[in-house]
Structure 1
Amino acid sequence: MRTENLLIELGTEELPPKALKQLAESFASNFRLALEGAELQFDSVNWFAAPRRLAIYVSALAESQHDKVVEKRGPAVNAAFDADGNPTKAALGWARGNGIDVSDAERLVTDKGEWLLHKANTPGQPVGTLLENLLNQAIGKLPIPKPMRWGNYSTQFIRPVHTLTVLYGSEVLPVSVLGLTSDRVVQGHRFHGEKRFDLAHADTYAQALKEQYVIADFNERADAIRDGLEQTAEQLSLTPDYDNALLEEIAALVEWPVVLTASFDSAFLDVPKEALIYTMKDDQKYVPLLNADGSLANTFLFVTNIESRDETAIISGNEKVIRPRLADAEFFFETDKKTTLESRLSSLESVLFQKQLGTLKDKSDRISELSGFIAQQIGADVTQASRAGLLSKTDLMSEMVMEFPEVQGVMGKYYALNDGEDAAIADALHEQYMPRFAGDILPASDVSAAVSLADKLDTLVGIFGIGQLPKGDKDPFALRRAAIGVLRIISEKGLNLDLEVLVGKAVDVYGSKLTNTDTQTQVVDFVLGRFVSVFQEQGISMDVIQAVSARRPTRPADYAARVSAVAEFKQREEAEALAAANKRVANILNKQNITGELPVDESLLQDEPEKALYRSLRAVSDDVQQAAASQEYGAVLSTLATLRNDIDDFFDNVMVMADDEAVRQNRLAILLMLRSLFLKTADISLLAKS
C-alpha cells in the first residue's frame, strides 16, 4: 500500500507562550490516538511549534485503511428456523439488515451451539475521507481552558486561526476545520521574508520555513537560544542565570531568535539581587548574568525575534523598558527598610490564614511556640527559633513581597539584617520555605530547620484538624509537598525527632480550634505515607517500603535507616529463605492468636534442632537489641541472617503443633522470640521473591 508523509499546520496569531509546548505535545498525542483508533498505519507522529503555528508531521502514513472482514453473528439456528425448516422473522430481519438472503448465511459452530453467520467484506476508507474527523477529534481534546471566537466565525480556539495547511506528500487533502478549508499556504516570519507562501511538499516544511526566518522545531529553537546565551555569556566572562522553564518560555515567544546584550545602571545593584532577578526573568523574560562570586552583574541578555541592521536601537529600547521595573524594586526596598519586621506583626492580624484557623498573626504565634519546642528537641537555640517563628510571615506585608510574591522569605532575610536581628534568625526567615520543590536544598541550620518544620506542621495539623483532607489531585494547601518537606528535613539531616511528638505538640498549640478528634493519627499516617514516593524515586522497591511501613516507625530518620538496611538485606543470599520463614512463622502465630510475650521453658525442649535454634536466639538477642536501639539495622539483619541454617533445621525436623499442649506452647514461644527479633527492623515476611 502507498504511504506518504502528512503535514498539518494551524497558522495562528501569537499563542500563549507558557502553554505552547503543552498544546503541541497534546495535539500530536491526540492525533496519534485518532489515527490508531481509525486503524491507519503510520511510523511516527512528531510536532512543530512556534509562536504563530502548531504543526504535526506523520511519517509513512498509509493512504487508506486495510480492508476488513467483519463477522456478524445472527440468531441461533434453533431460533432461526421453524419446525418446517422455514426462516423465522428473527432470521429474515437479521439477513435483511445485512443485505443477504438467509440461504446465503454461513454457520458458526461452537461448543455452546450453532448460529447463523455473515462475513462482510468492509473496504478500507482513504485517508482523505477520514482526515477531517480525525483532525477535529485531535483539536477538540486540546487543553484550552478559555477558547475564543474571532471575526464572524462561530468556531472557537485558543487564538484566531488564519491558515490551514494539509499536505499528504505534495497533495492537498480536502479538510474543513475551524472555519477554514485546507490549502498549502503557510505564514512566514512576521517581519522577515514572505508574509505567506506556498509549501510544495510536506517534507520541505521545516527547511522552507527556515528560508522564511522561522525555526519551526521547538527544541531546535530552544537549543539555538541556549547556545546563544552560553556563548555570549562566556565572551563576557559571566554566567547566565536561567532554568529550562524560562528557556522554553523564551523559545515560545520568538521564531527567529537573536541573543543581544544590554545593561542597566549599576546603582540598582544596591537592591537585593533576588528582587532584580525576579523582575528581569518574570516580567521581561530577560536572562540575568552573574559574576564569578555569584553576585549580579549590571549586564543582561535578551532574545529578540528579528535580525536588525541597527541592534543599538533594540538594545536601547529594552534598557528603557527594564529601568522603571528596577526603579520600582529600588523604591519598594528603600520604603520597606523604614519599617521593622517586628512592627509589621500587628498588620498580620488583618490577613486570614484560614477562616477557621485564624489570621497570619495567629499562625505566626503558633509557629513561634512550635519552633521553640522543636529547637529544644534538637539542641538548637530556642530563643532564636522562637523569634524567627514569630517574624516568619512579616515580610508578606512588605511592599516588595506584595509586588513580587516570589521573593517572600528572601526579603525577610534582608529586612531582618537591616533591623539588626541575629544572622541565624535572618537565615531562618529565608529558609523557612525550603524545600520548595522536589530536589530543592534543605534549611542549612538547625534553627532554620526548626522554623521550616514548625510552619509545615502547623499547616498540616490545622487543615487536617478542620477535616479538609486532600482528595484526589485537589490539594489547595499543598499538604503533600509540606509532608515530603517534613520527611526530607528530618531524615536527611538525621534529626532525632518523633512525628507523634511533633504532631501532638502542634495539636496542643491549636487548642480548641480543631474539630477533628483523630487529627494526630491522620497527620502522622499521611506524612509517613509520603515516604512511599520519596523512596520509590530513590529506586527502592515497594516490598521493602511495605516491610518497614508495617512497623510504623514514627521517627523519619529511623524509618529511613530501616529502609536502607532492608533494601541491602534483600540482596543477600539468605534473604529469600528468611523472608519465607518469617512468613511461615507469622502465619502460625496468627492462626494461634499468639501475641505479647510467651516465655520459653528450657526443660520442655526435646529435639536438638529446637534446642539449637533457642541457643542461637539467646546468643544473638542482646546484640540485636543493642543494635536496634542504636538504629544499626544493617547489623541487626546481618546478625539474624546467621540463623538461617538453624531456622531451616527447625522447620525440617520439628513438629511445632505437637500433641502435648505444653510442648506446643513452648515451640510457639521460640517462634515468637524469633519473630520479635526480626520485627525490631521490619516485617521481612512481606519481602517479595527476587
Structure 2
Amino acid sequence: MTDTVNRQDFLFELGTEELPPKALSTLSKALESEVMAGINELFGKQAATLLADTTVNAYAAPRRLALLINNLADEVPSSTFMMQGPPARIAFDEQGNPSKALEGFARKCGTTTDQLQEIDGKMSFSQSVPAKAITGELPAIIENALSKLPIPKRMRWGASRTEFVRPVKWVVMLMGDEVIECEILGLKAGRDTRGHRFHYNHAITLNQANEYLENLESVGYVIADFDERREKIRAQVEAEGAAINGIAQIDDDLLDEVTALNEWPVALTGRFDDRFLEVPSQALISSMKEHQKYFHVTDSNGQLVPFFITIANIESTDPAQVIAGNEKVIRPRLADAAFFFETDKKRTLESRIEDLKSIVFQQELGTLHDKAVRVAALAKHIAAQLGQDQDKAERAAMLAKTDLMTDMVYEFTDLQGLMGYHYAIHDGEDEGVAQAQNEQYMPRFAGDELPQSEPGIAVALADRLDTLTGLFGINQPPTGSKDPFALRRASLGVLRIIIERELDLDLISLIAFATEQHSNLRAEGFKVNHEVHEFIMSRLRALYQDQGIAIEAYLAVETKPGEMETKPLVFDRKVKAVSHFMTLNEAKSLAAANKRVLNILTKNNYDGLSKASEALLQEDAEKALATAVAEKENQLKPLIAQGDFKAVLEQLAELRPVVDKFFDEVMVMADDEAIRNNRLALLNQLRNLFLGVADISALS
C-alpha cells in the first residue's frame, strides 16, 4: 500500500526577531524532535515504513528556525481500525437483547449494537479509516511542537495575544511547490522568506521547498545551517590567528554563541595595547570573551598576545573601520580590568578576611567568615592526617574566599580562585598557599584537573566536606534534579581527589570532624555523618559506569557484609580488583561457588564463629580444600596489608580446581551433625577469604 504513496519535500520556517543566542541550538533540536514525534504519531504503526526514505534537517540562524523534511509521504494511507469490547457470552441477555455492557461499548465506538460482530470470542467493532492528506495535519503538528519548545519565558508583541520567545515576523510552509494554507502564531503561512538584515533585507520567494538553503545563501546572504556556519567561523578564526603567527584559542561555548549571533560571519583581527598584558591573562580573556565575544590569540608557548579576533555579521566594504570600532570598544574594557587589578593589589588578601563577615554563606550556616574558620580547622586536620604542613593548609583556607571581596572578581565572577592566586603571590604568600587559592575549586567539572599542591588538596577537600555536612545538617540535601549547592559535584570532587591522588584518608572520620565544626545543626551528628558518607560513596556508581567498569564489580564491594569500607582509595582498589577478576577464566565458576556457599550458610543459619577442625575432615576433597584455604590465609595477609587486592583475587582464583572438586565429591549436609558443622565452618573460611576484598557471590 505504501509503495503508491507520493513523496514530497516539506519546509517549515519561522522568521523572528533575533533569537536568544545561547538557546538557539536547543530550540532547533527541540523543534525537530517534537515535529518528528508528531509525524510518527500520525503515521502510527506504518511510521517505520513511511519514514524509511525520509531525511530530516533542522536549520537555525539568529532570525529563523527551520525544518526541511525530504521525501515525506504526502498522505496517511488508509487503514482498518478495530476495537474489542465485552466477551460475547455476556453481550446479550436470555431474550437476545443487547446487554448494558454491549450498549456502552457501542456508544464508545460511536455506532449501534447491530454494527458489532463477534471476533475470537469478543464483540468487536472494525472501521475503515480512509487515506488523508498530510498537509491537513502538519499545521497542528507544528503548532503543538512550538508550544512544547523549552522557552522559560514567552513574550507578546503589539496588540496580539500570541506568545513566543521573540516576535514572529513571517512563516513559510511548503509541501513541494504548494503553500500549506494555515495560520501559525497569528501569521498566515506563505512561500516568502527573508534575507540578511543588512545585506538583503527583502523577501525571497521560494518556488520549491528544496530551494531553501541555496536561495538563502546565494541571494539572501544567510547561511541557515548552524553546523556549517559554526565550522566556517572556526576555519576563519584559525586562519586569522595563523596570519599573525599566532594560535587562535577557540572555546566551544563561545563558538556556539557566536554562531548563533551571525547569519553571514566574517572574521576580523584587531589589536590592543601591549601594556594590558601586565594584567593576568585570564582577566583579559574573560573581558574579551564575556563582554565582546572575541576569540583570544596565544603564541606557540601559550602566552597571550595583544590581538583578538571578532566575528562581524556583515561583509564590510571597509573592514578597517569595523576593526577600529571593535578596538575602540575593547580598550575601556581592558582598562577596567587593569584598573581593578591595580586597585585590588593595594590591599592584601589577609586584610580582607574580616570583610568575609559581611557576606552570608547560608542563613543557618553563617557567613563566609564562619565557613572560612570551619574549613581552616578541617584543612589543618586533613594535612595532619596526610603528614603535611598544617599551618600552610590552615593559612590557605583562611584566605580561600577573600578574593570574592575584590573588584576584579566582583566584575568577573569566573575568575574567583585564579585572582586569589595572583593576589597571594603579590602579597608574598607561600607558593603552595597561593596555588591553593585557585586549586580549592578543582575539579570544577567532570574530567577537570585536580589540585596539585598539598595545601590545595587539603582546602579543596575541606571546603566540599564543610558544605556537604552543613547542608545535610540543616536538612537541605539535594532533591530530585534540584541541587543548588552542587553537592553531587562536590561529592565527586572529594572522591576523585582522594582516589586519584591516592590519599589514605578515612572518609567517615573526616565527615565526623567536619560535622563537629558546625554549631546549631538541626540533625544529630551521627545521622549527618551516615547520610553524608552514604551520599558521597553512592556517587562512585556513576563514576565507575563512566569508566566502563561493570556495575557488578561495584556492587560486589558495596554490598559486602560486615563493616562498611570507609576509605575511598581502598574501596576503589577493591572495585578495580574485582573488575580485573571478572576477566579471569576462573571468575564465573568461583562466583557461582561463592553463591552456593552463601545459600548453604544462610539456610543453616551458620554463625561463623568457629574454624574447621582437621580431626573431623574425612574426604580427600575436603582435606585438600582445608589445606588450600589455610595456605591462602597465610599468603594473603601481606597482600591485604599492602592493599594489593588485585593480587589477592588472582591468588584466590587458583582455588577453583579444589573448590570444584569439593562440591563434586563432598556432601556438605552430612547426617553426622559434627561433620556437617565442620564442613560449614570450612565453607565459611573459604567465603571469608573472598570477603577480604568483596562479595564475589554478587557476580553470579
TM, length-normalised to structure 1:
0.96
| Residues 597/439 of structure 1: CA separation in 2 closer, same or farther (3 Å cut) | same
Kindly report which structure 2 residues correspond to 1:457-476, keeping only aligned pairs within 5 A, or say none. Answer: 457-476=465-484
| Residues 223/503 of structure 1: CA separation in 2 closer, same or farther (3 Å cut) | same
The answer (yes or no) to whether the contact 2:204–2:215 under 8 Å persists in 1 is no
> Residues of 2 paired with 1:485 and 1:97: CA distance?
58
SS in 1 for 2:137: helix
1:543 is matched with which residue?
552
| Residues 98/364 of structure 1: CA separation in 2 closer, same or farther (3 Å cut) | closer
> Residues of 2 paired with 1:374 and 1:521: CA distance?
19
What is the deviation of 1:369?
A: 1.1
2:684 is matched with which residue?
672
Kindly report which structure 2 residues correspond to 1:167-316, keeping only aligned pairs within 5 A, or say none. Answer: 167-211=174-218, 212-316=220-324
Moved more, 65-74 or 402-411: 65-74
> Residues of 2 paired with 1:576 and 1:647: CA distance?
13
> Residues of 2 paired with 1:98 and 1:660: CA distance?
73
SS in 2 for 1:135: helix
> Residues of 1 paired with 2:687 and 2:694: CA distance?
10
> Could you list the runs of 5+ residues in structure 1 that have no partner in the other structure?
none
> Residues of 1 paired with 2:559 and 2:93: CA distance?
67
2:538 is matched with which residue?
529
SS in 2 for 1:229: helix
Deviations 1:404-424 (A, max 9, x none): 110000000111111111111
What is the deviation of 1:87?
A: 5.2
> Residues of 1 paired with 2:377 and 2:417: CA distance?
19
Root-mean-square deviation (Å): 1.7
SS in 2 for 1:34: helix
Kindly report which structure 2 residues correspond to 1:27-176, keeping only aligned pairs within 5 A, or say none. Answer: 27-39=31-43, 41-42=50-51, 43-74=54-85, 76-85=87-96, 102-110=113-121, 115-176=122-183
The answer (yes or no) to whether the contact 2:221–2:263 under 8 Å persists in 1 is yes
Moved more, 558-567 or 309-318: 558-567
What is the deviation of 1:614?
A: 0.5
Q: 2:660 aligns with which of 635, 641, 648?
A: 648
2:507 is matched with which residue?
499
Amino acid corresponding to residue 677 of structure 2 in structure 1: Q
What is the deviation of 1:210?
A: 0.8
The answer (yes or no) to whether the contact 1:371–1:389 under 8 Å persists in 2 is yes
| Residues 184/562 of structure 1: CA separation in 2 closer, same or farther (3 Å cut) | same
| Residues 656/322 of structure 1: CA separation in 2 closer, same or farther (3 Å cut) | same
| Residues 607/89 of structure 1: CA separation in 2 closer, same or farther (3 Å cut) | closer
What is the deviation of 1:576?
A: 0.3
1:567 is matched with which residue?
579
Deviations 1:518-565 (A, max 9, x none): 011111111111111111101011111111212342212112211211
What is the deviation of 1:55?
A: 0.6
Amino acid corresponding to residue 601 of structure 1 in structure 2: S
Amino acid corresponding to residue 28 of structure 2 in structure 1: A
1:18 is matched with which residue?
22
Amino acid corresponding to residue 244 of structure 1 in structure 2: D
What is the deviation of 1:593?
A: 2.7
Kindly report which structure 2 residues correspond to 1:478-627, keeping only aligned pairs within 5 A, or say none. Answer: 478-513=486-521, 515-517=523-525, 518-551=527-560, 552-627=564-639
What is the deviation of 1:637?
A: 0.5
What is the deviation of 1:372?
A: 1.1
What is the deviation of 1:75?
A: 5.1
SS in 1 for 2:618: coil
Amino acid corresponding to residue 310 of structure 1 in structure 2: D
SS in 2 for 1:19: helix
Amino acid corresponding to residue 243 of structure 2 in structure 1: Q
> Residues of 2 paired with 1:360 and 1:608: CA distance?
70
The answer (yes or no) to whether the contact 2:608–2:681 under 8 Å persists in 1 is no
> Residues of 1 paired with 2:205 and 2:591: CA distance?
70
Moved more, 608-617 or 651-660: 651-660
The answer (yes or no) to whether the contact 1:378–1:446 under 8 Å persists in 2 is no
What is the deviation of 1:106?
A: 2.7
Give aligned pairs, total.
Answer: 684
> Residues of 2 paired with 1:418 and 1:166: CA distance?
63
The answer (yes or no) to whether the contact 1:466–1:516 under 8 Å persists in 2 is no
> Which runs of at least 4 in structure 1 moved beyond 3 Å after TM superposition?
72-105, 511-514
Amino acid corresponding to residue 291 of structure 2 in structure 1: D
| Residues 597/189 of structure 1: CA separation in 2 closer, same or farther (3 Å cut) | same
| Residues 116/550 of structure 1: CA separation in 2 closer, same or farther (3 Å cut) | closer
The answer (yes or no) to whether the contact 1:261–1:315 under 8 Å persists in 2 is yes
What is the deviation of 1:441?
A: 0.4
The answer (yes or no) to whether the contact 2:240–2:248 under 8 Å persists in 1 is no
| Residues 8/651 of structure 1: CA separation in 2 closer, same or farther (3 Å cut) | same
What is the deviation of 1:18?
A: 0.3
> Residues of 2 paired with 1:586 and 1:88: CA distance?
59
SS in 2 for 1:164: strand
Amino acid corresponding to residue 75 of structure 2 in structure 1: S
> Residues of 1 paired with 2:238 and 2:436: CA distance?
34
Moved more, 191-200 or 523-532: 191-200
Amino acid corresponding to residue 196 of structure 1 in structure 2: A
Amino acid corresponding to residue 72 of structure 1 in structure 2: M
Amino acid corresponding to residue 30 of structure 2 in structure 1: S
1:423 and 2:434 matched = no
Moved more, 532-541 or 291-300: 291-300
> Residues of 2 paired with 1:268 and 1:92: CA distance?
86
Amino acid corresponding to residue 23 of structure 1 in structure 2: L
Amino acid corresponding to residue 47 of structure 1 in structure 2: A
The answer (yes or no) to whether the contact 1:71–1:118 under 8 Å persists in 2 is yes
The answer (yes or no) to whether the contact 2:27–2:149 under 8 Å persists in 1 is yes
> Could you list the runs of 5+ residues in structure 2 that have no partner in the other structure?
none
SS in 1 for 2:267: strand
| Residues 189/667 of structure 1: CA separation in 2 closer, same or farther (3 Å cut) | same
Deviations 1:642-687 (A, max 9, x none): 1001111111111212222221221111111111110111111111
| Residues 288/658 of structure 1: CA separation in 2 closer, same or farther (3 Å cut) | same
The answer (yes or no) to whether the contact 1:131–1:175 under 8 Å persists in 2 is no
> Residues of 2 paired with 1:96 and 1:631: CA distance?
74
Moved more, 208-217 or 191-200: 191-200
| Residues 343/63 of structure 1: CA separation in 2 closer, same or farther (3 Å cut) | same
Moved more, 322-331 or 584-593: 584-593
Amino acid corresponding to residue 542 of structure 1 in structure 2: I
What is the deviation of 1:86?
A: 5.2
| Residues 168/642 of structure 1: CA separation in 2 closer, same or farther (3 Å cut) | same
> Residues of 2 paired with 1:100 and 1:413: CA distance?
79
| Residues 274/88 of structure 1: CA separation in 2 closer, same or farther (3 Å cut) | closer
Percent sequence identity over aligned pairs: 46
1:403 and 2:411 matched = yes
What is the deviation of 1:103?
A: 4.9
The answer (yes or no) to whether the contact 1:589–1:672 under 8 Å persists in 2 is yes
The answer (yes or no) to whether the contact 1:8–1:167 under 8 Å persists in 2 is yes
1:660 and 2:669 matched = no
What is the deviation of 1:104?
A: 4.9
The answer (yes or no) to whether the contact 1:462–1:514 under 8 Å persists in 2 is no
Amino acid corresponding to residue 558 of structure 1 in structure 2: V
Q: 2:385 aligns with which of 377, 392, 398?
A: 377
2:444 is matched with which residue?
436
